[in-house]
């Protein structure tokens, strides 16, 4: 049957209908939850497990509730130094034997230190699960570090500082963000520390730190992958159940970061940076506040996720005042930071970038956000999370983040639902509450004009 011709009237009607029809919203995904099992041993060790037989591998992670916020006074960087020392000898393992137990069977191991946690993680063929559980229990309960190993690892950490902070043209800028953004909270100590503080550390400090924080009631064991649940419980009981819980309580951070009463500005000069940069920070609530933390993550993504993001389009593409931009909503156990920054293009000054950064934030906080833009960013964030969870190691990391930073293992599931429900109104609300309606710290980062000029100085407040 021949197609009926469309009349002019019908064409106009179709055009009008198209113009008023709202754009289709991204469909909300029904994501199967991560089925985790949780139990706590008599000595206080929290155990989380996720059975997943997608591949014949298993991830083993030990998360300790200790980070750079717990560094001893005058010993910044100590939690990070101690992370290195956990790979040294124990009563029944030689130094670096964790490499042999993982890499020699086709697996891998590593560790990281953050503001709130230190985690040790391995992935191995599943028939080596028992060995890895024994090894993690062994270095929890029987760590042995002598003066030689202590001195050598301290030198390694100091070299990391030189590479990541001193040798990196913008390392000093990013290393200064925490010290200049917090006034009271121990988050003001950079995780990597400083060479003078590292040099002041002693072997006695190591022993004291291990006895204070590396204990079963201050740790979370996470196992994900190909295992038999009953066998896992038996092995965990066998290797971890006998580790004694100390009689003394775990020290807790009690410092409260006060609200900012005014804007602050700092200036840092660099001998190696070829171009200026600027960073601006605001205090945000702890990660446990999911109602605000998740919209803040979406706001940061709208500003800086990809070349189509607002900061890139404004500062790099249209105005060409910057070569690199970024935004981050850094959620922590305590007060977090919302940070934006720009590394400038040749011939431009921090004030130019600062003005544009603030303009884009204010525009995002007050003007309508296109539905397509918001949906795209939420889809990118959701895709990143789902991609991470394709492996046992990724599942374990997601569960650890939810448990130790976000404050509840169930956040591993509920956050993905909440992310999909974030609206433009939510983004406006959190930006107006914590960013546009709050005081900021601004850091100007300038190439050093002359040799011998002080490396850092505090400028006038405003």
- Under CATH, which number does the domain 264-458 receive? 3.30.830.10
Identical fold at 37-240 and 264-458? yes
CATH class of segment(s) 37-240: alpha beta
Q: Supply the pLDDT for residue 26.
A: 55
Q: Look at residues 342, 308, 340, 309 and name the one whose alpha carbon lies nearest to residue 325.
A: 342
E strands in 195-321: 219-225, 264-270, 277-284
Burial of 193 (0-12, 13-18, 19+ CB in 10 A): buried
Q: Is 226 helix (H, G, I), strand (E, B) or coil?
A: coil
Q: Supply the pLDDT for residue 11.
A: 33
Averaged over successive runs of 10 residues, the pLDDT of the chain (462 residues) comes to: 32 35 59 96 98 97 97 92 93 93 97 97 98 97 91 94 94 96 96 93 91 97 98 98 96 95 96 96 97 98 97 98 98 98 97 98 98 97 96 97 98 97 98 97 86 41 38
Q: Supply the pLDDT for residue 458.
A: 44
The CA distance from 356 to 321, in Å, is 9
CA 296 to chain centre: 14
Return the number of other C-beta atoms located less than 10 Å from residue 73's C-beta. 8
Domain residue spans of the chain: 37-240, 264-458
The CA distance from 182 to 164, in Å, is 22
Is residue 243 within 8 A of residue 269, CB to CB? The reply is: no
Is residue 325 within 8 A of residue 312, CB to CB? The reply is: yes
> Alpha-carbon torsion 310, 311, 316, 321, what sign?
positive
The CA distance from 321 to 311, in Å, is 11
Q: Which two tokens stand for residue 433?
A: 């509450």
Q: Supply the pLDDT for residue 258.
A: 96
Quick one: DSSP state of residue 91?
S
Quick one: DSSP state of residue 90?
B
Longest dimension (CA), the chain: 92
Is residue 406 within 8 A of residue 287, CB to CB? The reply is: yes
The CA distance from 400 to 250, in Å, is 20
Q: Supply the pLDDT for residue 21.
A: 40
């Amino acid at each position: 049957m021949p197609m009926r011709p469309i009349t002019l009237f019908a064409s106009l009607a179709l055009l009008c209908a198209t113009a008023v029809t709202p754009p289709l919203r991204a469909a909300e995904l029904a994501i199967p939850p991560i089925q985790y099992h949780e139990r706590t041993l008599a000595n206080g060790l929290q155990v989380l497990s996720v059975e997943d037989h997608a591949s014949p591998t298993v991830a083993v992670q030990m998360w300790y509730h200790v980070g750079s916020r717990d560094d001893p006074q005058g010993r910044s960087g100590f939690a990070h130094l101690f992370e290195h020392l956990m790979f040294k000898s124990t009563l029944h393992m030689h130094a670096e034997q964790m490499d042999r137990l993982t890499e020699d069977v086709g697996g891998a191991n590593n560790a990281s230190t953050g503001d709130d946690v230190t985690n040790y993680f391995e992935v191995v063929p599943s028939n080596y699960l028992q060995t890895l559980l024994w090894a993690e229990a062994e270095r929890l309960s029987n760590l042995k570090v002598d003066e030689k190993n202590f001195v050598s690892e301290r030198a390694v950490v100091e070299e990391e500082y030189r590479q990541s902070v001193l040798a990196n043209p913008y390392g000093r800028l990013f290393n200064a963000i925490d010290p200049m953004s917090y006034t009271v909270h121990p988050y003001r100590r950079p995780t990597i520390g400083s060479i003078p503080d590292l040099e002041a550390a002693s072997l006695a400090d190591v022993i004291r730190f291990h006895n204070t924080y590396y204990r079963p009631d201050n740790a979370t064991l996470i196992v994900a992958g190909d295992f038999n649940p009953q066998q896992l419980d038996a092995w965990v009981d066998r290797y971890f159940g006998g580790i004694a819980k100390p009689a003394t309580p775990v020290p807790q951070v009690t410092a409260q970061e006060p609200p900012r009463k005014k804007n602050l500005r700092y200036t840092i000069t660099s001998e190696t940076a070829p171009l200026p940069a600027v960073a601006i920070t605001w205090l945000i609530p702890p990660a446990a506040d999911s109602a605000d933390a998740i919209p803040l993550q979406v706001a940061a993504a709208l500003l800086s996720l990809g070349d189509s993001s607002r900061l890139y389009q404004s500062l790099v593409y249209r105005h060409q005042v910057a070569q690199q931009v970024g935004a981050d909503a850094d959620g922590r156990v305590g007060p977090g930071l919302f940070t934006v920054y720009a590394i400038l293009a040749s011939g431009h000054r921090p004030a130019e970038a600062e003005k544009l950064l603030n303009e884009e934030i204010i525009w995002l906080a007050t003007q309508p956000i296109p539905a397509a833009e918001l949906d795209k960013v939420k889809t990118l964030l959701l895709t990143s999370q789902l991609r991470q969870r394709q492996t046992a190691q990724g599942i374990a990391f997601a569960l650890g983040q939810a448990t130790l930073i976000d404050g509840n293992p169930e956040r591993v599931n509920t956050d993905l639902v909440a992310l999909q429900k974030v609206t433009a109104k939510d983004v406006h609300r959190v930006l107006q509450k914590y960013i546009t309606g709050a005081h900021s710290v601004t850091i100007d980062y300038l190439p050093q004009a002359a040799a011998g000029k002080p490396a850092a100085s505090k400028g006038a407040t405003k």
